[in-house]
Structure 1
Amino acid sequence: MSVSLIHTFSGHRDKCWSIDVDRARGLLASVSSDKTCRVYNLNTRRLVGVLDDNTHTKTMRSVRFKPSSTVPALAIGSFDSTISIWSREDDDWVLMAIIEGHENEVKSVDWSHDGVYLASCSRDKSIWVWEADETNEEFECISVIQEHEQDVKNVVWHPSKNVLCSSSYDDTSRVFKQDDYDEDEWVCVANCQGTQGTIWCADWEKSDNLRFVNCSDDSLVKIWKKTSPETQTGTGATLPSTLKSEEEWVLDATLPKVHTMPVYGVAWNSNGLVASCGSDGRLAIYQESNGDWKVVAVQELSHGVAELNCVKWWNDNTLLTAGDDGNVNMWMVSLS
């Protein structure tokens, strides 16, 4: 398996922190310390929108397209502690809402698989879950989760379930599920520990399985999985969430070591491939065979001497990386 650079999207005047792909429409969004979001058509590789409008006063740190939307829409989290919601009307991107609530920098945002919920996390150690309306204009905070002991770096929803994974400066990834008896309550069912350093990012396996990959300051990439069904204490029919037992989540695998410095981004593709990128400038791709993981490709100096901050898959053999050089690189992965 090999990796080759096929295009570079340039235009940001500062570090590019986060990227996301609308697979159905072939759109790429990137956000930067220059306080802009750039939207590209991946098929034509042309710029189709720049979202700034002086909306955010500080770095745009995270961007996510809304799934299950009749028109393209996205959320942007910023270091100014707010979240902006944008929707494309005709050929223009329109600001639909500004969401306020966090006390400090918003580090990550993500939509649930059906677009009903938006999760955000912050340096204020909290995770907020917002319920969205169909117009993308009204957002109600239905839950504030305060389980982490430090800065929360990343939130990511399961691709088909209302299950949320968060990662933090407190060296843990945690899993939250919607309460069976109170839809506005989100219960921490797992605290995945054992990492030596900040966990920067996580991503779910693209199936109904409950497995996720995370990456951290200790230069390692790990797979975690749920091993047993949820249990409840006692025999009562309806138990408050505080009495529910935690699920059993275990370390499934530590992937072969490739990186020599902190790993900032991971992405799990629908064909089973996992990609990672980080401070050492390396882009690595891993494949599982009969429960064993192996490295199938490594690209050195993916953005020259710049650090890599984020990686996303577009399709089975194309992925994108974002770097401190302000660029987004598109890579072709040869599966032969």
Structure 2
Amino acid sequence: MTTQQQPTQQQHVVVIGAGYAGLSAATRAGKKHRVTLVAPEARFLNRVRQHETFAGHPEHRPALAEVLADRQVTHKQALATELDLNGRKVFLDSGEVLSYDTLVYALGSRTAWHGVPGAAEHAYPAERAAELAARMRAAAKPGTVAVVGGGLTGIELATELAEAHPAWKVRVVSATPVGHHLSAKGRAHVRRVFERLGVEAHEGRAVTAVTAAGVRTDEGAIDADLVAWAAAFEPRELAAEAGLAVTPDGRAVVDEYLRSVSHPDVHVVGDAAQVRVEGVGELRMGCVSALPQGGYLGDLLAGRTAKPFAFKYQLQCISLGRRDGLVQLVHPDDSMRDTVLTGALGRWTKSLILKVIIKGLR
């Protein structure tokens, strides 16, 4: 097994992005190095709980200052707009220019519209969850919400909305069967919860447009007063614009130490990176792999490990409203096992994991 030599002197590490990967990398690297964290937000965007925000529940977003306490980390509340990789500089929208010894690129991902006409104008993505919640509260009478996307995010969102707003009709529109990647037991439990909450599933219907009246699909129109978009995510374009080696979809290609294969002084973690692990394969986007990547990189930079990044999947979990949940056990390569935990036990397990995530940022 190969190892990487670590610098013996303190460096200036610049981390751009304060998601699961960026924030955990900054807090751990900040135990040894001087770290500047660049992110426009003052609070942590806890994406795995955005379905709760959509439903109007209180947000669980700790202040970055609280997470960064007692670390050598300075938070620059700004947006990185340009990278000079040869000159080792980061340009901010505030006009400031930061020089670095090591750059951690952790800008994560954003909602992908897939070129669907009207989606950006009429649908509410995760980034605008609070706006949809406000629209539902302000509505003169209950209506219909269409959730586009039948993956884990869409399932969580649909069940949360249906439970929080029982007078509203919730419809899931998906090109694939809802929860198609889950085991048979997992899919069956999701169907039972949908039936209990009155959620309609329109499966095998690809969305071709979004309008003020709902969505259009390849099988016809589906009426909706509001549309929530939970279809997919895509990496931001700054990595490609800066000249990092990227995949066709824009993710930076990294080695076993999460270093850019084209610029070794740049580490890329989280949804922004294409990470491959022997015996597991290419990691999917999401908190489940982003948080371990950030923690590993912080330890690597701080000299607490010199080994390549290692990871294996253990489970997938979703909340199904406030009183139900699904924990799907998986093989190390993320393929399904037969074992699932459901009901109150599944929900309790998901709640415990959410608490562990926040602690893991430290």
TM-score by shorter chain over 0.5: no
Higher helix share: 2
Larger radius of gyration: 2
What TM-score do the two structures reach when normalised by structure 2? 0.25
What TM-score do the two structures reach when normalised by structure 1? 0.26
Higher strand share: 1
- Identify which of structures 1 and 2 has the higher relative contact order when contacts are C-alpha pairs closer than 8 Å and 6+ apart: 2
